[in-house]
Amino acid sequence: MSTPPSVYQRRRPPTPSELTQIPWLALLQADERAQIVPQLVVSDPQAGDYVCRVGRPVTYWFGVISGLLKMSSDNEQGHTMTFTGVPPGGWFGEGTALKRESYRYNIQALRASVVAGLPVDTFHWLLDHSIGFNRFIMSQLNERLGQFIAAREVDRLNNPEIKVARNLAALFNPVLFSGVGEVLRITQQELAYLAGLSRQRVNEALRVLEAQQLIRVEYGGLRILNLDGLRQTVFKQSGDNP
């Protein structure tokens, strides 16, 4: 029985429609864009496929065109810690690409997805030549720092509503994930993987958040009704729990 092609082996040029969903391309000058677009590739990881693995050297800077990924690592006891989900519009790993390090986390598809990749040498060329690209990267790094500080604060708490609210607030971040909009296509099981909870606990937490008119559960996903309220719920409740 032949081995199916890997995510890397399935790479191909992006379609014109896929290019429109890469947020930083619009920030480039015409000559920069003309040089970069031919170097972009996309692939289609299926549920369970790894895009990046701990210890592998960085070769691309990645972004999600469609689907849903999760960023995680395993500790010495073999337990998995999930850092965040990566929905459409999200680009990740710029810190690793900047330092040309090996990955310290795994990136795995939670469902069939389309992922774009920019070669790491091209990433550095853009840093050297494009003001618009530099501003995008600085905004990414600043927003991600705030996201992970909030995650560390919330993860020490044992409250499913806060954990679910934190993950939803992170997934609806308009700076990091410009492709999400007001509706996130996610199942309760996928959200359970990201929050580190059972599907039943996630369902209960969503009912609480829906009763507070922060979200609305719809067929195949969630609609955000009050993003500021969702964020304030996270920080208010986490501050009340030492």
CATH number of residue 210's parent domain: 1.10.10.10
Query: What confidence tens digit (pLDDT) does each residue in 78-132 have?
Result: 667 777 889 999 999 999 999 999 999 999 999 999 999 999 999 999 999 999 9
Q: What's the mean pLDDT in 210-218?
A: 93
Query: pLDDT at position 163, please?
Result: 85
pLDDT over threshold 80, residue 151:
no
Q: Are residues 94 and 48 in the same domain?
A: yes
Residues 64, 90 within the same domain:
yes
For residue 183, what pLDDT band results from cuts at 50, 70 and 90?
confident
Whether residues 126 and 234 share a domain: the answer is: no
Read off the pLDDT of residues 57-92 as tens digits, 9 standing for 90 and up. Answer: 999 999 999 999 999 887 666 667 777 889 999 999
Pick from 90, 110, 144: which residue ends a domain? 144
- 169, two tokens: 């607030």
pLDDT at 185: 87
Assess whether pLDDT exceeds 70 at residue 150: no
Regarding whether 180 and 102 lie in a shared domain, the answer is no
Residue 123 is part of a domain; what is its CATH number?
A: 2.60.120.10
Domain check: are 85 and 160 in the same one? no
CA distance 94 to 100: 9
Domain boundary among 116, 144, 172: 144
> Is the same domain home to 139 and 163?
no
Q: Is residue 6 part of a domain?
A: no
Q: What is the pTM of this model?
A: 0.85
Four-residue CA torsion sign, 155, 160, 163, 167: positive
Which of 144, 164, 185 is the last residue in one of the domains? 144
Verify that 170 and 228 share a domain, yes or no.
yes
In a domain, 9, yes or no: no
> What would the pLDDT profile of 231-242 be if each residue is shown by its tens digit?
887 655 554 443
Asked if 136 and 32 sit in the same domain, the reply is yes
Q: What is the pLDDT of residue 242?
A: 38
Nearest to 218 by CA among 227, 226, 229, 206: 206
For tokens 């997805």, what's the residue?
113
Residue 62's domain spans which residues?
16-144
Q: Quick check: 152 pLDDT over 80?
A: no
Residue 71 located in a structural domain: yes
The per-residue pLDDT for 9 is: 81
Each residue of 16-67: pLDDT tens digit? Answer: 999 999 999 999 999 999 999 999 999 999 999 999 999 999 999 999 999 9
